[in-house]
Amino acid sequence: MNSLNRVILFGATSAIAEQTARQLVAQGASLYCVGRNRDKLMALIDDLKVRASDHQQIDGDVADLTDSDQHARLIDAGERALGGIDGALIAHGTLPNQQACQADVTQTRQEIETNALSVISLLTLLANRLEQQQYGVIAVISSVAGERGRQSNYVYGAAKGMVTLFLQGLRNRLAKSNVDVVTIKPGFVDTPMTAELDKGGPLWAKPEQIAKGIIKAMQKGKGEVYLPWFWWGIMLIIKHIPEAIFKRMSL
Amino acid sequence: MTAPRSWNRLPRVAPDAVHALTQRYAGVPDGLPRPLLAHGNGRSYGDVCLTEQGTLLLTRGLDRFIEFDPQQGILRCEAGVTLAELLALVVPQGWFLPSTPGTRLATVGGAVANDVHGKNHHAVGSFGHHVRALELWRSDGSIIACRPEDDNGWFSATIGGLGLTGLIRWVELQLMPIQNPWMWVESQRFANLDEFWALNRRAEARWPYTVAWIDCLAKGKAQGRGILLAGQHAAAQAELPAFKEGGKRIPVDPPFSLVNGLSLRAFNTLYYRQPVKPQGALTHYVPYFYPLDAIQGWNRIYGRRGFYQYQCVIPPREAEAATAALLDTIARRGEGSFLAVLKTFGNKPSLGMLSFPRPGTTLALDFPDRGDKTLRLLEELDAIVREAGGTLYPGKDARMPASLFQAGYPQWEAFSAYVDPGFSSRFWQRVTP
């Protein structure tokens, strides 16, 4: 079991990360929160401070994570504020407009930069640090969209797929160093990022449910987890549809 | 997306749009159809939280705490925080809501907008008396900070202002110190209304919390029989039992109301016959203050059609006669609710221009919606209330006539000047010209 007493959250103001932060604080954790929007981040930190005890450190900084020059500084600052790192959760990301990406490769590049390359940059730095200390856990919010390319969002899917594959290799490398690497694959989550979609039906989960699953997976040092769990079955089917058939489907 | 409803599930109206707010700083996006109206956790009854035009702004995403001073018991939080979330934070630190309604699933913003009251109104007033400050966002983009000491009217318009003066973004509350999460409660049976009045007078002089459940179907000499619960927060050195929160839920909508003449009579009689503890006993604050919250979706027992809640207040001078007349009418029709609640308000003047609590006696009942038959009964009750110079609670109303509202809330015209021109509700459109 991994301790989650000192955790850095990247993309801390995302709905899933915010719920994760609240639950971690309730379990006595100290947190360092990185977010892009200052107002949102301050509102989050103020809230977490009220929920925490005087002995818990709640701190953070504003940063645009697509600027990878910031990454080393942020990890240093987090480590200093917390007095060490037990875990890190990388939760930042955007849901690209597929149509806009199809029309303009600059847009596609930007989305891959945000959703994949910036994550890989953070992972490289974090992995080296945790490998040295020989303990810790890194979790990344990837997506079921990264399991198979679909016409409706394959740019997002490709970025998430890259992250998932990168994490597999990293997990393999760090296994001998007592560092766990967790790939979180949420299905449909009712968050502001999905505000444009119609959220009827039993497939939609609440961010607080996902947060609970993330914490459990990080504590247990799981490899890849679908949240909620039943997405494992859905994706098993989707992954095994022969390409000849899949290419004609409208998914 | 299904349109949000209020707790009694009627009226069934859908706005043009629904927008979920998540950031208090962000304001409200331009271009949403107007008028706007905030909708918290949908725990009011009727249409104060509904609109048929424009946009409902869902406030549950504004659920952050902003600042808490555990020495002074001052808490500032966003308007969409529920009372349950607030209590979960402050009770273990020795603080409590000085005034709380009968559900902890209401939001703080909703508690302000309806100036809700609790079983201790006679001792501490209503929710608005404990608000130190709040912030309003107006549809022209301006922000107004409101404090009780301001004399510009914004505070008294917004307390009990039914969400019409703008969007309440945060609220700062003065909490009340407690020693532990338990209550010391004495319960006593009374055989009729006369006994209630005598018992209640004695209880109010001595206890911070009093409320009575009455059997609204009992007639004649037994009219108004019931059980009076008097309570106070438990002593610091009380021997506290263990408490584990249970919970049941009503999982489906029965196609018709399970509340009918037979079940009503059985329930009311059983409730009246339950063992009472005049010597007192410890009760955890959750079942004491929020008994119905333990049954998730209890509003479903009234079936798909929903129900009307009827809560009136009668001035002290007319209280005894009018309460008897109301109970006569209800019992004669064999209508009524599982639990009718009877309580007297204290003399502390409410702070809001449209606040419901005022000196007198308040009676609250539910009636399953049986169409015209129910509406006719409610009109009969209206006549008694009107005659006695009383009024109804907007936060629990889906049908009161404009004339009854205007008679009961003489400041409504002065209040109109504070209504945000970009905000409205179905209730407001119904009771004003």
Residues from chain B that touch A195, judged by Cβ atoms under 8 A, are 20
Verify that B127 and B192 share a domain, yes or no.
Answer: no
Q: How do residues A213-240 score in pLDDT, each as one tens digit?
A: 999 999 999 999 999 999 999 999 999 9
Q: Is residue A1 part of a domain?
A: no
Kindly tell me if the per-residue pLDDT of A196 is higher than 60.
no
Chain A closest CA to B257's CA: distance in Å?
27
Q: How do residues B227-254 score in pLDDT, each as one tens digit?
A: 999 999 999 988 888 888 877 888 888 8
- Residue A200's pLDDT is 65
Cα dihedral A96, A102, A105, A106 in deg (nearest 10): -40
Interchain CB distance below 8 Å, B65 and A50: yes
- H or E stretch including A185? strand A179-186
Query: What CATH number is given to the structural domain containing B108?
Result: 3.30.465.10
Interchain CB distance below 8 Å, A39 and B23: yes
Strand partners of residue B344:
B361
Strand partners of residue B364:
B311, B341
> Alpha helices, DSSP H only, in B276-358?
285-289, 316-333
- Residue A199's pLDDT is 67
Query: What CATH number is given to the structural domain containing A165?
Result: 3.40.50.720
Interchain CB distance below 8 Å, B1 and A200: yes
Verify that B246 and B147 share a domain, yes or no.
Answer: no
Measured CA angle at A17 (ends A15, A21), to 5 deg = 120
Q: How do residues B17-60 score in pLDDT, each as one tens digit?
A: 999 999 999 889 999 999 999 999 999 999 999 999 999 999 99
Q: Is residue A81 part of a domain?
A: yes
Verify that B100 and B206 share a domain, yes or no.
Answer: no
Query: What CATH number is given to the structural domain containing B242?
Result: 3.30.70.2520
B-facing residues of A in 23-52 (CB < 8 A) are 39-40, 43-44, 46-47, 50-51
* Closest residue of chain A to B70, computed from CA coordinates: A50
Interchain CB distance below 8 Å, A50 and B89: yes
Q: Is residue B260 part of a domain?
A: yes
- The total number of structural domains that make up chain A: 1
Q: Is residue B16 part of a domain?
A: no
- Residue A193's pLDDT is 60
B85/B64 Cα distance (integer angstroms)? 10
Chain B closest CA to A69's CA: distance in Å?
29
Angstrom distances, CA of residue B394 to CA of B45, B374, B405, B417: 9, 18, 8, 19
B341/B310 Cα distance (integer angstroms)? 11
DSSP helix/strand/coil, B266: helix
Q: Is residue B131 part of a domain?
A: yes
Kindly tell me if the per-residue pLDDT of B174 is higher than 80.
yes
The one-character DSSP state at A213 is H
Q: Which of B107, B222, B221 is nearest to B167 (CA)?
A: B107
Verify that B340 and B265 share a domain, yes or no.
Answer: yes
Q: Is residue B194 part of a domain?
A: yes
**Exposed/middle/buried for residue B330 (C-beta within 10 Å: 0-12, 13-18, 19+):** buried
Q: Is residue B432 part of a domain?
A: no
Tell the residue number behind the tokens 């961010």, with chain if given: A207
| Poorest-pLDDT segment among A10-14, A193-197, B82-86, B133-137 | A193-197
Q: How many residues does chain B have?
A: 433
Verify that B242 and B113 share a domain, yes or no.
Answer: no
Query: In 10 A of CB B261, how many CB atoms?
Result: 12
Q: Is residue A251 part of a domain?
A: no
Structure tokens at B170: 């945060």
- The total number of structural domains that make up chain B: 2
Strand partners of residue B307:
B368
Q: Which of B127, B139, B212 is nearest to B176 (CA)?
A: B127
Can you give the residue range of the structural domain that contains A98?
A: 6-246
- Residue B348's pLDDT is 97
A-facing residues of B in 52-91 (CB < 8 A) are 61, 64-68, 89
Q: What phi and psi values does residue A90 have, to the nearest 5 degrees?
A: -105, 115
User: Cα Rg for chain A, rounded, in angstroms?
Assistant: 18
Chain B closest CA to A224's CA: distance in Å?
30
A181/A127 Cα distance (integer angstroms)? 9
> Alpha helices, DSSP H only, in B130-282?
154-158, 193-206, 261-273
Q: Is residue B232 part of a domain?
A: yes
pLDDT, mean of residues A169-191: 95
Measured CA angle at A73 (ends A69, A78), to 5 deg = 140
Structure tokens at B349: 């003047």
- Residue B239's pLDDT is 86
Q: Is residue A235 part of a domain?
A: yes
Q: Is residue B310 part of a domain?
A: yes
Residues from chain A that touch B66, judged by Cβ atoms under 8 A, are 43, 46-47, 50
Verify that B193 and B317 share a domain, yes or no.
Answer: yes
Residue among A43, A195, A200 whose CB faces B64 most closely: A43
Give the count of Cβ contacts less than 8 A between chain A and B.
33
Q: Is residue A224 part of a domain?
A: yes
* Closest residue of chain B to A22, computed from CA coordinates: B64
Structure tokens at B65: 């705490």
Residue among A15, A46, A192 whose CB faces B67 most closely: A46
B390/A198 Cα distance (integer angstroms)? 46
DSSP letters spanning B101-140: -S-S-SBHHHHHHTT---TTHHHH--GGGGEEEEEEE-TT
Angstrom distances, CA of residue B67 to CA of A14, A44, A177, B111, B373: 21, 12, 41, 19, 50
A153/A143 Cα distance (integer angstroms)? 12
Mean pLDDT rounded to a whole number for chain B: 94
Q: What phi and psi values does residue A145 have, to the nearest 5 degrees?
A: -65, -20
B-facing residues of A in 4-23 (CB < 8 A) are 15
Strand partners of residue B361:
B314, B344
Model confidence at B337, pLDDT cuts 50, 70, 90, reads: confident
Which percentage of chain A shows pLDDT scores above 70?
A: 96
> Do the beta carbons of residue B357 and residue B345 sit within 8 Å?
yes
Give this complex's ipTM. Answer: 0.92
* Closest residue of chain B to A14, computed from CA coordinates: B22
Residues from chain A that touch B58, judged by Cβ atoms under 8 A, are none
Can you give the residue range of the structural domain that contains B69?
A: 65-178
A74/B59 Cα distance (integer angstroms)? 33
B155/B354 Cα distance (integer angstroms)? 12
